[in-house]
Amino acid sequence: MGEHKRIGILTSGGDCAGLNAVIRAVVYRATGTYHWEVLGIRQATNGLLVRPPDAICLDIEKVDHLLTAGGTMLGTTNKGDPFAFPMPDGSLRDRTVDIIEGYHQLGLDALIGIGGDGSLAILRRIAQQGNLNLVAIPKTIDNDVGITERSIGFDTAVNIATEALDRLHFTAASHSRVMIVEVMGRDAGHIAISAGIAGGADVILIPEISYKLSNICDKIRERQEQGRNYCLIVVAESVRTEEGEQMMQINRLGQKRLGGIGQYLADAISICSGAETRVTVLGHIQRGGTPSPLERLIASAFGVAAVDLIAEGKYDQMVTWQKREVVSVPLADAIAKYRVVESDGTLVKTARGLGICLGD
Ligand code: F6P
């Protein structure tokens, strides 16, 4: 079975459903098949910054129940870029040397990093700098990591957004309302277009396709003329106003987050169509809870494949899902460009074919 190894695993960036299923698969494969040790590093790279490094030994007993558990048992963070790490005195310091030292203190032969494009780019820079053996697994509900058709977390997020639409059909019909659902997705419209089609939306707005309010109002009128007394609209959080302004929510600390486009549309649609309009912002509900069966399947396949890459000594690679297969690609290629919804792709064509208004 080859030489004995000790491998590390960490989750980085925003959490999502399916992370625990990946951790479980890695432990099953690494300990069960290869008889290696697996150390789970807590709070992303932060676990490698503290002394002693914050890591736990993972065995099958510890991960057995994880297949259906949401979140990540290791914890994660989407703050604190190690290249400009915020110190208590307010200064920013490059702490990559400490992370590399933490990896060596744990005696790791390889590291599996589970993250989105931002986290994976950071992990790759650190691995290159320290000559660390890194294998990457893509995760993000946004599904915008390059090359892979699917990232961990996306399918469950789509299921949750679709279920929300399924429920909203009834209340919208009962009150003859326009219901707007604002979904996450950062700069990509993958959740919006997928859930919009699956949930029977009348209008889907994604950042990749610019829209006119008048087209949305025409669609609402068309549906009324067809005898439909309500309309469902899905909008991705990073869609801009008609004038091109990015809607952001700013809290009292001055921190900004994407959000508000749903309410902007509701006001504009009420004015132009006279329809009574309500907004549902799904938010972090899309990241939580039990992973869907497809999520568990992809998580399991990615976990096994990542361990196998280490067994083959193939590093600086990312596992991807392509045409029903797990294929490994150079990590540099995967993070070179993030993946948006193709405006001439199958989902956009499907939406148009169904008469769904995309706003253009
Ligand atoms: O990248 C995942 C994501 O959920 C985005 O869809 C969303 O814009 C962002 O993270 C929210 O981040 P936070 O958890 O920091 O509010």
**pLDDT tens column, 167-181:** 999 999 999 999 999
pLDDT of the residue at 50: 96
**Average pLDDT taken over every residue of the chain:** 97
Ligand 1 centroid from CA 28, angstroms: 30
Whether residue 138 has its Cβ less than 6 Å from ligand 1: no
Q: How far does the centroid of ligand 1 lie from the alpha carbon of residue 96, in Å?
A: 24
- Alpha-carbon Rg for the chain in angstroms: 22
Residue 153 CB–ligand 1 contact under 6 Å: no
Main-chain phi, psi angles of 183, to 5 degrees: -110, 160
| pLDDT at site 1 | 57
* Cα 29 to Cα 112: distance, rounded to the nearest angstrom: 13
| pLDDT value for 2 | 77
Q: Which residues are catalytic?
A: 142
Rounded to the nearest angstrom, the distance between the alpha carbon of 353 and the centre of ligand 1 is: 31
Q: Which of 117, 120, 139, 141 to mutate to test the pocket of ligand 1 (most atoms within 8 A of CB)?
A: 141
The tens digit of pLDDT for each residue in 258-286 reads 999 999 999 999 999 999 999 999 999 99
Poorest-confidence range of 104-108, 199-203, 251-255?
A: 251-255
Q: What CA–CA distance (Å, rounded) separates 28 from 30? A: 6
Specify burial of residue 30 (Cβ count, 10 A radius: 0-12, 13-18, 19+). buried
Structure confidence by residue, pLDDT tens digits, 113-163: 999 999 999 999 999 999 999 999 999 999 999 999 999 999 999 999 999
The pLDDT of residue 353 is: 98
Share of the chain above pLDDT 70, in %: 100
Question: Is the model's pLDDT at 335 over the cut of 70?
Answer: yes
Query: Is the CB of residue 161 below 6 angstroms from any atom belonging to ligand 1?
Result: no
Per residue in 71-90, pLDDT (tens digit) is 999 999 998 889 999 999 99
pLDDT tens by residue, 210-247? 999 999 999 999 999 999 999 999 999 999 999 999 99
Ligand 1 contacts CB of residue 14 (under 6 A): yes
User: Which SS3 state, helix, strand or coil, does residue 180 take?
Assistant: strand
- Measured from the CB, is residue 140 less than 6 Å from ligand 1? yes
Q: What distance in angstroms lies between residue 185's CA and the mean position of ligand 1's atoms?
A: 8
Residue of the nearest CA to atom 9 in ligand 1? 186
Per the CB < 8 A criterion, the answer to whether 199 and 172 are in contact is no
CB of 191 sitting under 6 A from ligand 1: no
Determine the atom of ligand 1 nearest the C-alpha atom of 78.
15
* CA 208 – CA 214 distance, rounded (Å): 18
Measured in Å, residue 294 CA sits from the centre of ligand 1 at 22
Q: How confident is the model at residue 289 (pLDDT cuts 50, 70, 90)?
A: confident
